[in-house]
Amino acid sequence: MKNSIKIIQPDDWHVHFREGEMLNVVTKYSSRVNRRCIAMPNTSTPITNSIEAINYKNLIQKNSGKNNFEALIPCYLTDNLDIDDFEYALHNNIFIGGKLYPNNATTNSQYGVNDIKKIYNIFEILEKQNKTLLIHGELNRSDIDIFDREKYFIDEELYQIRKSFKDLKIVLEHVSSDYGVDFVKTNINIAGTITPHHMLLTKEDVFKDEEINPHHYCMPVVKNEKDLTSLRNAACFNNSKFFLGTDSAPHHVVDKKQNDSLKAGIFSSSNSIELYASIFEEENALENLEKFSSINGPKFYNLDVNDQYLILDKEDKIVPEYTEEGNIKIKNFYANKKIHWKVAQLEV
């Protein structure tokens, strides 16, 4: 049994930093272990142009407390983007790619796209510039069950996008189902991020006796045992198409009260790599953690692998209930439960 592991410093390819005091509080939890993070652009005013992207990137970097931490920003795709600015920002690496939010699929997606065919011109630009399309892959329609939104998105939209833009690099974000895993595995130029919560929870942890556990409520919702197993296998074994993306999405506890406007999102960045390490250990796959956390992602995005290392020691720790600072109070994912790894140090 291993008591210590050393991995190339990880990156988190999917995080929400928000704005204002929330951003101030949460950024350091990501930068404490990751060298780079994709900062999702669904802020209250979405990041849709080059100036907003530069400002947001600088703001996050300033708040990270590290001088080599880098925030990578995708453009929030809408059907009225300034196309010249978008092309300019991609060309100058201000945007790493574009994030597709289908309209009203999740938090702050009210500016998202209603008719995806109408932004095929944007996909063409991404493809030409060899930039990535990051997708929240859920179809939110009243006749579609909440557990089937990923499957319907794949069948009714993603399949067609894949077929129409064969060279376009796509990331199916927070893959949540066996069906999604299978689509990523069997298609070209597509990868997937996998969150810790989709490998630790099933729908019984969210929906019980007509009640919702608000702290386990996220989009896409967690699903069945079969889906969880498939995600664990995809992350842990022999697959270069999946990489680390926590989808850590902080909400203030008062917004997590059960009511009609319950906010979806789970905050995990305060213990992210520790949670992943515990999962890989349970799967007897610790030797594959580094590929998932630190190699597959940069390879897909055509970026260099990090040159520092992270050491994790085997040590039990109970996750505190809240992350609390100033006016901010966020419930931690895995609160009051035991994790078995602790970050020891970063070294060159």
Catalytically annotated residues: 247
Structure-token pair, residue 301: 């995005």
Binding site for ligand DOR (CB under 6 A): 16, 42, 106-107, 136, 218-219, 247, 249, 264-265
52 binds, among ligand DOR, Zn ion, none (CB under 5 to 8 A by kind): none
219 binds, among ligand DOR, Zn ion, none (CB under 5 to 8 A by kind): ligand DOR
Return the amino acid letter for 297. G
Distance CA 37, CA 264 (A): 21
Q: Between residues 31 and 127, which has the closer beta carbon with respect to Zn ion? A: 31
Q: Between residues 171 and 286, which has the closer beta carbon with respect to ligand DOR? A: 171
11 binds, among Zn ion, ligand DOR, none (CB under 5 to 8 A by kind): none
Written in H, E and C, the secondary structure of 106-143 is: CCCCCCCECCHHHHHHHHHHHHHCCCEEEECCCCCCCC
Q: Which of 228, 222, 269 is nearest to 245 (CA)?
A: 269
Q: Between residues 44 and 336, which has the closer beta carbon with respect to Zn ion? A: 44
Position 150 contacts Zn ion (CB under 5 A): no
Distance CA 256, CA 254 (A): 5
> Which one among 150, 178, 227, 247 touches Zn ion, defined by CB under 5 A?
247
* Residue range at the interface with Zn ion (CB under 5 A); choices 65-73, 125-133, 240-248, 273-281: 240-248
Q: Between residues 178 and 247, which has the closer beta carbon with respect to Zn ion? A: 247
Q: Between residues 98 and 265, which has the closer beta carbon with respect to ligand DOR? A: 265
What is the DSSP annotation of 56-94? HHHHHHHHTS-SS-EEE-EEE--TT--HHHHHHHHHTTS
Distance CA 26, CA 267 (A): 9
Task: Using CB under 5 A, count the residues that bind Zn ion.
Answer: 1
CB 26 within 8 A of CB 267: yes
305 binds, among Zn ion, ligand DOR, none (CB under 5 to 8 A by kind): none
Distance CA 280, CA 104 (A): 34
Position 52 contacts Zn ion (CB under 5 A): no
Position 138 contacts Zn ion (CB under 5 A): no
Position 11 contacts Zn ion (CB under 5 A): no
CB 308 within 8 A of CB 240: no
Residues of this chain that bind Zn ion (CB under 5 A)? 247
